[in-house]
């Protein structure tokens, strides 16, 4: 009897430990950055255990001189002044010095589309093209967004992708995820890859090391609280990375994904769907330009957005053209993990099934829910409680 009891208790303890280990996200935040993307992440949000732990990983992995690379000056949107140039040297209205030697030394992407192609001790190569012939790495940034009666959004893009039998990678912003958790869950459940694109969408070279860590980890934690996975892929807003940012991305386990841009080969795979596009004619002209890509060619990665009804309309119109071409469409649409043969989530091994979705207070209108941040904790403890009660019942049956 005692042996049986001990064995039952051992199983109970192991089951409980497994349940906790399987779902626990260390240092889940109790407070989140603002949904207002104009706000920088500052103050006590940078002192949260999640961020302090992230900084420890960064400091252990990235050389001090790289972490000490100077921070760029932020103006607005993607406009920055990268260290090594003075604004007075620049033409009126231009804030980026394309020829800054410091920018080139640190391989600042916006300067000359500089990419790193080989790994070092502190960063992995940038991912900029899908492997293979005719492979189109399909990516949508800045969402998820909520569809309304009048406006298309993320789910309208995934609906047509579903009809095409195609998957994409969605680089989501933490602030947008907070606002549309149900949309994130929908895209993920349909088999699309979810990846990190910062919380506030500020250019990262303008942020301190701790702020960059916070941009990534708050978004990661929010995604985990909703989906139970930790993404592997990261895209910097505006492609704004230098070696300091690459080091931080890499130390946190991420791979840096930029869209294909090769000026020397006159190869640009930014659809420019978000630039000065406001009328139906603008949208149609973007579609006409991108249709020129519908030919056999080496693999590439495109940039599109599901950030607003205009960009989502462009995405849908492009996919509709592809749908109407049927088998005559010469390219294969793939998400990044698939075209690189890399598992898209850090906590899911290749070939392993995705974990069950954490408990989630479904809200059909997708209004942000303050309870989501603790959803995982609730799910874990409910399962642990079930396991403990089941164990006690077993024990009582024995005695």
Stretch of residues binding Zn ion (CB under 5 A), selected from 39-47, 137-145, 255-263, 336-344:
137-145
- DSSP three-state, residue 120: coil
What CA–CA distance (Å, rounded) separates 388 from 391? 5
Asked if 305 is an active-site residue, the reply is yes
Q: Which is nearer to Zn ion, 142 or 183 (CB)?
A: 142
Rounded to whole angstroms, the Cα distance separating 250 from 252 reads 5
Residue nearest to Zn ion (CB): 141
Between CA 277 and CA 198 the distance in angstroms is 24
* Site for Zn ion contains 141 (CB under 5 A): yes
Which of 237, 299, 358, 375 contacts Zn ion by CB under 5 A? 237
**Residue 392 burial (CB count, 10 A):** 13
User: Could you tell me the smallest distance in angstroms from the CB atom of residue 173 to Zn ion?
Assistant: 7
Neighbours of 308 (CB within 10 A): 17
* Min CB(37)–Zn ion separation in Å: 10
Task: Give CA–CA dist 349/124, Å, rounded.
Answer: 19
Shortest Cβ distance from residue 43 to Zn ion (Å)? 25
Can residue 143 be called a binding residue for Zn ion (CB under 5 A)? no
Give yes or no for residue 215 binding Zn ion (CB under 5 A). Answer: no
Which 45-84 positions form the footprint of Zn ion (CB under 5 A)? none
Rg from Cα positions in the chain: 23
- Cβ 174 to Zn ion, closest distance in Å? 12
- The whole-angstrom separation of Cα 305 and Cα 315 is 8
Q: Which is nearer to Zn ion, 141 or 242 (CB)?
A: 141
Task: Count Cβ atoms within 10 A of the Cβ of residue 329 and give its class: 0-12 exposed, 13-18 middle, 19 or more buried.
Answer: middle
181 binds Zn ion (CB under 5 A): no
Each residue of 183-201: b (16+ CB within 10 Å) or e?
bbbbbbeeebbbbbbbbbb
Q: Which is nearer to Zn ion, 142 or 242 (CB)?
A: 142
- Subset of 313-342 contacting Zn ion (CB under 5 A): none
141 is catalytic: yes
If one asks whether residue 142 binds Zn ion (CB under 5 A), the answer comes out as yes
The catalytic site residues sit at: 141, 305
| Binding site residues, Zn ion, CB under 5 A | 141-142, 237
């Amino acid at each position: 009897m005692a042996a049986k009891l001990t064995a039952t208790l051992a199983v109970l303890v192991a089951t409980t430990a497994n349940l906790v280990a399987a779902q626990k996200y260390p240092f889940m935040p109790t407070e989140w950055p603002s949904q207002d993307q104009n706000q920088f992440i500052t103050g006590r949000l940078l002192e949260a255990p999640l961020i302090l732990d992230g900084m420890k990983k960064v400091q252990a992995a990235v050389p001090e001189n790289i972490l000490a690379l100077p921070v760029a000056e932020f103006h607005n949107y993607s406009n920055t002044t990268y260290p090594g140039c003075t604004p007075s040297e620049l033409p009126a209205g231009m804030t980026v010095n394309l020829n800054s030697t410091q920018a080139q030394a640190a391989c600042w992407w916006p300067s000359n589309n500089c990419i790193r192609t080989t790994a070092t001790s502190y960063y992995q190569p940038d991912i900029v093209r899908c492997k293979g012939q005719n492979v189109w790495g399909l990516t949508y940034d800045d969402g998820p967004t909520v569809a309304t009666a009048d406006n298309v959004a993320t789910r309208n893009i995934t609906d047509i992708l579903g009809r095409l039998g195609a998957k994409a990678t969605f680089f989501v912003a933490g602030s947008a995820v907070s606002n549309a958790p149900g949309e994130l869950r929908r895209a993920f459940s349909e088999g699309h890859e979810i990846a990190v694109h910062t919380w506030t969408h500020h250019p990262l070279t303008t942020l301190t090391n701790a702020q960059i860590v916070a941009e990534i980890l708050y978004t990661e934690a929010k995604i985990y609280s909703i989906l139970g996975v930790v993404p592997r892929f990261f895209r910097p807003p505006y492609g704004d990375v230098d070696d300091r940012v690459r080091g931080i991305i890499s130390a946190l386990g991420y791979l840096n994904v930029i869209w294909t841009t090769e000026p020397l080969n006159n190869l640009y795979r930014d659809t420019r769907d978000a630039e000065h596009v406001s009328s139906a004619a603008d949208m149609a002209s973007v579609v006409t330009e991108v249709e020129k890509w519908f030919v056999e060619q080496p693999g590439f990665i495109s940039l599109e957005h599901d950030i607003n009804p205009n960009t989502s309309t462009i995405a849908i119109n492009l996919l509709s053209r592809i749908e109407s071409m049927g088998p005559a469409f010469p390219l294969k649409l793939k998400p990044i993990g698939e075209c690189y043969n890399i598992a898209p989530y850090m906590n899911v091994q290749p070939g392993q099934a995705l974990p069950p979705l954490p408990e989630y207070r479904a809200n059909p209108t997708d209004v942000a829910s303050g309870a989501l941040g603790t959803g995982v904790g609730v799910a874990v403890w409910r399962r642990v409680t079930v396991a403990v009660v089941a164990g006690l019942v077993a024990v009582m049956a024995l005695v």
